[in-house]
A = this chain, B = another copy of it.
Amino acid sequence: MEGPISPQFVADSIAKHQSKVNIGAHAIFLGQIRADEKEDGFVTGIEYSAYEEMAEQAFHAIREDAFSKFDLTCMHIYHSLGLVPTGEVSLFVFVSSAHRRAAFEASEYIVDEIKTKVPIFGKELVGPAGAYVWKENN
C-alpha cells in the first residue's frame, strides 16, 4: 500500500475478525520506522520501492507456506511503498488462530521470511539536507 499504515487501518482489520468466532488468538506485528542516527544525522523516514510483481509472488509463497506450517484461521500482510516517515508503520502482519501458540509462531516466522525473501528496497532519508543511505536487512 502507498505510504504509512495507519492505526485506524489496524483497528478496521481487527474489527473485521470479530465475526469469526473460531478465532481465539490474534498476533499482530507492526514494523515502525526508527530515528536511527547515521553519519549525516537522524533518519527522518524511509522511501520504499519494490520489484512489485516478484514481491507479490514472494508474499503469496510466504502465505501458502505459513498456512501449511501453522494451524491458522486468517493471515494478512501489508507493506508500505513510497515514503514512510519516522514513527509511522511500514509493515503490518496479522495472523489469527484458534489457539495462541500457532499465532505466535506464525507471526515471527512470517516477519523473518518477509525480511529475507521479498524484494523491497528502502532508502533511509537522513537529516535535513537530503542525505540518504540504502537500508539493508541482516
Contacts and interface: CB of A to CB of B under 8 A. Distances in A.
Interface string A82-101: 00001111000000101010
Given A7-B11, A11-B10, A104-B108, A25 B20 contact: no
Interface string A124-135: 000000000000
Interface string A1-37: 0000001101110110111111111111111111100
A80 interface: no
Given A10-B11, A11-B11, A31 B25 contact: yes
Given A27-B107, A104-B104, A32 B7 contact: no
A111 interface: yes
B100 A111 contact: yes
B29 A17 contact: no
Given A11-B7, A104-B104, A86 B21 contact: yes
Copies of the chain in the assembly: 2
B27 A29 contact: yes
A34 B27 contact: no
A62 to B, nearest CB: 16
A134 to B, nearest CB: 17
B21 A14 contact: no
From A19, A23, A96, A98, residue with most partner B Cβ within 10 Å: A23
